[in-house]
Amino acid sequence: MMVSKNSILKTLLSSFAVLGLGMFLAVDAGFRIADKNLHLTDPHNSPIRSLIWWTAKGYLAEPKAPDIVLLGSSLMMTAHHAGDATKRNEIVNEVKHFHSTCMEDFLAQKGGQKPSAFSFAIAGQMASDAYLIARSLLVGDKQPKVIVYGIAPRDLIDNTLPSPASTETFRYLDRFSDFSDIALSARTSANEFIQYGLEKAIYTLSHRPDLICLQHKFAYSLAPFGKDAHTDAQIKTPFALRAIARMDVPDDNGANELRIGPYDKATEPFRDNTTEYRHRYAYIKQKTYKSQLSYLNKLMSLCKQQGIQLVVVNMPLTPGNVSLMAPGFYDQYKSTVAAMARENGAGFLDMNKQDAFEQKHFADTVHLNGLGGVQFFKLLSDELALDRSFTAALSATQ
Amino acid sequence: MLFNSLTYAIFLPIVVALYWVSPVKFRVPILLIASYVFYMSWRPIFILLILGLTVVNYFFGFYISKSENNKKPWLIAAVATNLVTLCFFKYAYFLNDSLGSLIKPLGMAPPAMAFDIVLPLGISFFVFEFIHYVVDVYRGSAPIKSFMAFALFASFFPTQIAGPIKRFQDFIPQFLNPAKFSIKDLDSGVSLILMGLFKKVLIADNLAFFVQGGFQHPELFTGLDLWLFTYAFAFQIYFDFSGYTDIARGSAMLFGYKVPINFNLPYLAKNIADFWHRWHISLSTWLRDYLFIPLGGSRVSAKWKVYRNLMITMALGGLWHGAAGHFLVWGIFHGAMLGLHKLFKDGREWLSDNGYSFVSSAVDSKLGTALSTLFTFHVVCIGWVLFRADTMATAGEILKKLFFMDTVFSGMPSYAAAMNLPSINYPLIYPAVFLLLPLLAISHVLMGYIDKTNWVARSPKVIKAAWVCALMLMILVFSPDKSPKFIYFQF
């Protein structure tokens, strides 16, 4: 027996679940229209106080574009924070301290005029993240003259990275940037594609973070306590509880939770993280490596296109760390990056100088300590001051 | 495959659609294949376990049924096969450790385990279903003839991992007379699934975050704080497990199958026996039918034997939840509370028989009922401390603070007894719990009213549709990015 279309429709319409789904789609469409016209949500806000959120907030608050922007992972980030804390001899709040005192002062000593140098270096930043930051935030009236990008093999081969789209930097920037050209290539698993498809179809789903921000605002307005969670107020949450919280939301950093003091030999013994890096280097995913190299290439092309002078800096590592890599890999990585830089008119500086950095400059096998941070920026400034492309870009008027 | 995962959100509609568009004769095979795919999505190798036990129990059922004089040996063999399998996977480490602590004073060490044992998902549930089957066949029920029906009974994916523990007498007739597609089942199924997700991802998962802080670091909190953590866990475990059951029942309903309820507003129980009539009903009735009654139940020659039977039943019920000492102690605690309740009940009857009926009247009055409900809730909460704490030492520390309110009664200044929670600035759940817990308590009472008045069924269609829409929005927006596993999955 043939069932008519009308009869199927009638049967389905008699379902309150189907009607509920219809209502949901209508509400979603209404939210889409209202938000587009009335700007109900602020995509720059975030329910997670991630490093990219703090740094982007800091960058957008800058009165004008800095002369230099530093990019890189924790290798550059710790060199910047630990180095500045040591140079300034004071405790530095890592989610509030963005200008590189070391770089500004050392370059001023070399060239006379003091440039402004803003650090966008963020722990865990991959080459894909660096490219996304450059194309989303370092544009228009916020375009710097120079980008100094500190890189090491681990920033291209992180074997725990599911895909470029899985980082907090991607997720955050994607909310107010148009990444449609890389939407598919940045995702790798079926789950990611389905999630992306659903987010495209359902406006409410893609605006979950905005709605969670509204929920937080509402809850804090009702809750008797915790109103100062987003401020610099003295946070009394016991460390043990924050540790639990960070297991669930590892990217969340409170306003005064990440602090670093001046280098103190007595309290900062060298931490041997050889085991971690042996594991990292043992299982290099070629697909990830190639994909990240292509993003590095995109960053270089973007800078060339925008007229930003890019200097790629090979970050210092301990000899022991380099020896953990497969024979020939490190040299191959360096020559690949250097060749890519040459092709795109970017500079390439190898700062992994065995004679300049000793074990006393390292906090562990890859991260520089305060002493190393100061040394790094001093040597980097010396090198940059001799680089004609760099000095020409810096002295150019925007 | 977790019920609260994107994979399940894709898997379920595909299986539902395939089921209903296929000819009737293909529907059960589709459901069976889907159930095995569901089970294999975790660790494919364990399909051999569930298949093996299905085949063995299917034949045991026939041997028990056909044997005239040798029913009992077959039953013993069947029950032993199931229990040995369960014990091997679930209790091998526990037994080894327990043996170790027993022989340690003699200077001996327990034998080292030669291999790692992984606990297969859902084993505690499907093994109990198999035991129920062979025992009921022994008691006279007809065995299931169709192997496919029997296989589906044991592996039915909506109830496979954490129940409800089904009875084959209820399930098989639904298989023999398959339901026709009905909009009513679709509606009920979808709203149950949404309600279950709401309970799980919105309430339980957010509370889980709060609860783990208190139970992992009781040393940071005062007695007052710990009461809040304990209340929070009471609601977390209820919403987690009843949320799971709702999703299971809703998923089954999408295929036209009805599975039993597991919860009936347990925190409105008037006494501890009433609590066990309302909490994890399919397990408590199983324990009654296949453990308490075979032990003699309450029809025994000596009164003490009733208490013994209660204690054994609840202690083993506690151990069923997990191979750890604190689960055993939790079971013993409930056994003791049930024993005390029986004493109280007998005392009341004696008083009534001897002219003191005002005691019963007072207990049964509105105020008496409210007070006994409140008291029962707190007894259950104390039990939850034993259940949730990772070790007995942690449970002891929490209970000590709960009962003695640490600083309040130790002569210290009263300000020292103030709660520590207010000073915790973030995460949000800490300050928000002061609003959340009273709301949950109110909602529990409200649900009683809604159920009693059949409010949902009587509501206009548009209200029900709006409810579905609101649930979808809330689940979509407020569920945590990482939803923890259901608590009862570990059992």
pLDDT digit string, tens, across residues A205-250: 889 888 888 877 777 777 655 566 556 566 667 778 878 877 777 8
Best residue of A25, A193, A225 to probe chain B, by most B CBs closer than 10 Å = A225
| pLDDT tier for residue B209 given thresholds of 50, 70 and 90 | confident
Quote the pLDDT of residue B138: 94
Round to whole Å and give the CA distance between B203 and B104: 44
Please give the backbone phi and psi of residue B24, each rounded to the nearest 5 degrees, phi first: -55, -40
Per DSSP, helices labelled H in A228-369 are: 239-248, 274-282, 286-306, 319-322, 329-343
Quote the pLDDT of residue A126: 94
A287-296 b/e with 16+ CB inside 10 Å = b? ebbebbbbbb
Token pair listed for B469: 């829409």
Contacts of B183 in chain A (CB under 8 A): 11-12, 14-15
Tell if the CB–CB gap between A20 and B461 is shorter than 8 Å: no
Quote the pLDDT of residue B481: 64
Residues B232-244: what's their mean pLDDT? 93
Highest mean pLDDT among A108-117, B101-110, B207-216, B276-285: B276-285
Specify whether A92 is located in the same domain as A27: no
- Return the closest-CA partner of residue B182 out of A2, A25, A23, A17: A17
Specify whether A119 is located in the same domain as A22: no
Q: Coil, strand, or helix at residue B236?
A: helix
Nearest to A205 among B187, B464, B476 (CB): B476
| pLDDT tier for residue B415 given thresholds of 50, 70 and 90 | very low
Residue A38, CB-side half-sphere exposure with 13 Å CA sphere: 7
Please give the backbone phi and psi of residue A49, each rounded to the nearest 5 degrees, phi first: -85, 70
Flag whether residue B439 sits within 8 Å of chain A, measured between CB atoms: no
Please give the backbone phi and psi of residue A368, each rounded to the nearest 5 degrees, phi first: -80, 150
Burial of A356 from C-beta contacts in 10 A (0-12 / 13-18 / 19+):
middle
Token pair listed for B445: 């009472």
Structural domain boundaries, residue A25: 12-38
Per DSSP, helices labelled H in chain A are: 5-13, 16-38, 51-60, 74-88, 101-111, 127-136, 154-157, 168-174, 190-201, 203-206, 208-222, 239-248, 274-282, 286-306, 319-322, 329-343, 370-386, 388-395
| Contact of A282 with A79, CB cutoff 8 Å | no
**ipTM of this model?**
0.80
The conformational region for residue B389 under phi > 0 = left, psi -120 to 50 = alpha, else beta, is beta
Residues A377-394: what's their mean pLDDT? 91
Best residue of A203, A241, A247, A257 to probe chain B, by most B CBs closer than 10 Å = A241
Quote the pLDDT of residue A398: 53
Round to whole Å and give the CA distance between B312 and B332: 8
Residues B299-306: what's their mean pLDDT? 86
Of B132, B321, B326, B444, the catalytic one is B321
Residue of A nearest to B475 (CA): A205
Shortest distance, CA B456 to any CA of chain A (angstroms): 12
Flag whether residue B422 sits within 8 Å of chain A, measured between CB atoms: yes
Instruction: State yes or no: pLDDT of B427 exceeds 90.
Output: no
Please give the backbone phi and psi of residue B401, each rounded to the nearest 5 degrees, phi first: -70, -35
Token pair listed for B235: 């609601």
How far from chain centre, in Å, is Cα B190? 22
- Spatial strand order of the sheet with A117-119 comes to A117-119, A68-72, A146-151, A309-314, A347-350
Specify whether A86 is located in the same domain as A110: yes
Neighbours of A79 (CB within 10 A): 34
Tell if the CB–CB gap between A224 and B6 is shorter than 8 Å: no
Residue A16 lies in a domain: yes
Tell if the CB–CB gap between B472 and A222 is shorter than 8 Å: no
Round to whole Å and give the CA distance between B317 and B281: 13
Tell if the CB–CB gap between A224 and B464 is shorter than 8 Å: no
Does the annotation mark B321 as catalytic?
Answer: yes
Residues B476-490: what's their mean pLDDT? 62
Residue A323 lies in a domain: yes
Question: What CA–CA distances, in Å, run from B56 to A315, B151, B297?
Answer: 64, 11, 30
Contacts of B207 in chain A (CB under 8 A): none
Tell if the CB–CB gap between B465 and A23 is shorter than 8 Å: yes
Quote the pLDDT of residue A264: 86
Please give the backbone phi and psi of residue A151, each rounded to the nearest 5 degrees, phi first: -135, 155
Task: Round the average pLDDT of chain B to a whole number and report it.
Answer: 87
Quote the pLDDT of residue B196: 92
Tell if the CB–CB gap between A240 and B462 is shorter than 8 Å: no
pLDDT tens readout for residues B398-407? 999 998 765 5
Instruction: State yes or no: pLDDT of A190 exceeds 90.
Output: no
- Return the closest-CA partner of residue B280 out of B325, B335, B234, B241: B241
- Return the closest-CA partner of residue A392 out of A355, A340, A352, A347: A347
- A-B contacts (CB, under 8 Å): 136
Question: How many domains is chain A partitioned into structurally?
Answer: 2
Round to whole Å and give the CA distance between B386 and B329: 7
Lowest-confidence pick of A154-163, B146-155, B168-177 = A154-163
Tell if the CB–CB gap between A223 and B464 is shorter than 8 Å: no
Please give the backbone phi and psi of residue B217, each rounded to the nearest 5 degrees, phi first: -135, 65
Specify whether A157 is located in the same domain as A292: yes
Contacts of B217 in chain A (CB under 8 A): 238, 240-241
Judge if the upstream peptide bond of residue A238 is cis by omega within 30 degrees of 0.
Answer: no
Nearest to A211 among B432, B477, B480 (CB): B477
| Contact of B78 with B103, CB cutoff 8 Å | no
Quote the pLDDT of residue A41: 86
Q: Got the DSSP string for A37-64?
A: HH----TT--SS--HHHHHHHHHHTSSS
Shortest distance, CA B213 to any CA of chain A (angstroms): 6
Tell me which residue has tokens 């907090």.
A168
pLDDT tens readout for residues A37-89? 988 888 898 888 899 999 999 999 999 999 999 999 999 999 999 999 999 99
DSSP strand pairing (A347-350 vs A309-314): parallel
| Contact of B75 with B143, CB cutoff 8 Å | no
Quote the pLDDT of residue A2: 47
Question: What CA–CA distances, in Å, run from B347 to B277, B335, B338, B351, B353?
Answer: 22, 18, 14, 6, 10
Residues B195-203: what's their mean pLDDT? 89
Residue A3 lies in a domain: no
CATH number (domain holding residue A60): 3.40.50.1110
Quote the pLDDT of residue B269: 94
Q: Which residue has the higher pLDDT, B437 or B134?
A: B134
DSSP letter for B480, please. Answer: -
| Contact of B223 with B420, CB cutoff 8 Å | no
At CA A148, angle to CA A144 and CA A150, rounded to 5?
145
pLDDT tens readout for residues B317-345? 999 988 888 899 999 999 999 999 999 99
Specify whether A115 is located in the same domain as A147: yes
Specify whether A324 is located in the same domain as A366: yes
Q: Which residue has the higher pLDDT, A71 or B98?
A: A71
Contacts of B187 in chain A (CB under 8 A): 15-17
Q: Coil, strand, or helix at residue A112?
A: coil
Flag whether residue B432 sits within 8 Å of chain A, measured between CB atoms: yes
Specify whether A18 is located in the same domain as A137: no
Instruction: State yes or no: pLDDT of A202 exceeds 80.
Output: yes
DSSP letter for A260, please. Answer: E
Specify whether A272 is located in the same domain as A303: yes
Flag whether residue B301 sits within 8 Å of chain A, measured between CB atoms: no
Quote the pLDDT of residue B413: 47
| pLDDT tier for residue A1 given thresholds of 50, 70 and 90 | very low
Round to whole Å and give the CA distance between A370 and A378: 12
Specify whether A67 is located in the same domain as A169: yes
Round to whole Å and give the CA distance between A125 and A131: 10
Instruction: State yes or no: pLDDT of B416 exceeds 60.
Output: no
Shortest distance, CA A43 to any CA of chain B (angstroms): 15
Quote the pLDDT of residue A227: 60
Token pair listed for B452: 């009693």
Residue A45 lies in a domain: no
Token pair listed for B131: 């035991």
Round to whole Å and give the CA distance between A329 and A325: 6
| Contact of A151 with A337, CB cutoff 8 Å | yes
Shortest distance, CA A374 to any CA of chain B (angstroms): 35
Residue A210 lies in a domain: no
Contacts of B468 in chain A (CB under 8 A): 16-17, 19-21, 23-24
Token pair listed for B35: 């159930």
| pLDDT tier for residue B156 given thresholds of 50, 70 and 90 | very high
Residue A84 lies in a domain: yes
Shortest distance, CA B102 to any CA of chain A (angstroms): 34
Quote the pLDDT of residue B482: 58
Number of H helices and E strands in chain B, helices first, is 20, 0
Residue A247 lies in a domain: no
Instruction: State yes or no: pLDDT of B429 exceeds 90.
Output: no
Tell if the CB–CB gap between B427 and A245 is shorter than 8 Å: yes
Residues B204-230: what's their mean pLDDT? 88
| pLDDT tier for residue B451 given thresholds of 50, 70 and 90 | confident
Specify whether A28 is located in the same domain as A76: no
Flag whether residue B483 sits within 8 Å of chain A, measured between CB atoms: no
Residues B345-349: what's their mean pLDDT? 89
Instruction: State yes or no: pLDDT of B466 exceeds 70.
Output: yes
Round to whole Å and give the CA distance between B230 and B399: 10
| Contact of A87 with A101, CB cutoff 8 Å | yes
Please give the backbone phi and psi of residue B312, each rounded to the nearest 5 degrees, phi first: -65, -45
Specify whether A34 is located in the same domain as A133: no
pLDDT tens readout for residues B11-68? 999 999 999 999 988 999 999 999 999 999 888 998 999 999 999 999 999 999 998 7
Residue A381 lies in a domain: yes
Tell if the CB–CB gap between A225 and B190 is shorter than 8 Å: no
Specify whether A277 is located in the same domain as A148: yes
Residues A11-32: what's their mean pLDDT? 92
Q: Coil, strand, or helix at residue A161?
A: coil
Flag whether residue B462 sits within 8 Å of chain A, measured between CB atoms: yes
Q: Which amino acid belongs to residue B315? A: A
Round to whole Å and give the CA distance between A51 and A56: 8
Q: Which residue has the higher pLDDT, A304 or B447?
A: A304
